[in-house]
Amino acid sequence: MRKPARTFQDLIVWQKAHEFVLLVYKLTKLFPKEEIYNLTSQLRRSSVSIPANIAEGFKKKGKADKVRYLNIAQGSLEESRYYLILAHDLGFGNFKEQQLHLEEVSKLLEAYSFSILNSGF
């Protein structure tokens, strides 16, 4: 059995979300320069919001509060998913790796939310 997380950094979902942010920063360096204040900025902000909300929710006391922050993270994840689709459709590249990583984070977020809602704490 896994030890309980002592910090948000112990959470696998946070670790995977953070890895996604690093992938996004690496990826957006390759976007056209005219996108720096548009798609580049939007994708970076939405991706950073995912692990940031996981971290913020980690220390909240009530189940509802914790899950609310995870739900916000899920919303930012879906926003990021759209920006990857848009970047692909604009011809900025193929983002299969990032999309697969995002799908993994989405499933982990869903499982983490479910476990919080159904736990005794």
Give the tens place of pLDDT for each residue, 51-91: 999 999 999 999 999 999 999 999 999 999 999 999 999 99
Q: Is the pLDDT of residue 1 over 70?
A: no
Domain that holds residue 112: 11-117
Q: Report the distance separating Cα 80 and Cα 104, nearest Å.
A: 14
108 assigned to some structural domain: yes
Mean pLDDT of the chain: 94
CATH number reported for the structural domain that contains residue 87 in this entry: 1.20.1440.60
Predicted confidence band of residue 2 (pLDDT cuts 50, 70, 90): low
6 assigned to some structural domain: no
How many structural domains does the chain have? 1
CB of 43 closer than 8 Å to CB of 84: yes
46 assigned to some structural domain: yes
Q: Report the distance separating Cα 36 and Cα 29, nearest Å.
A: 9
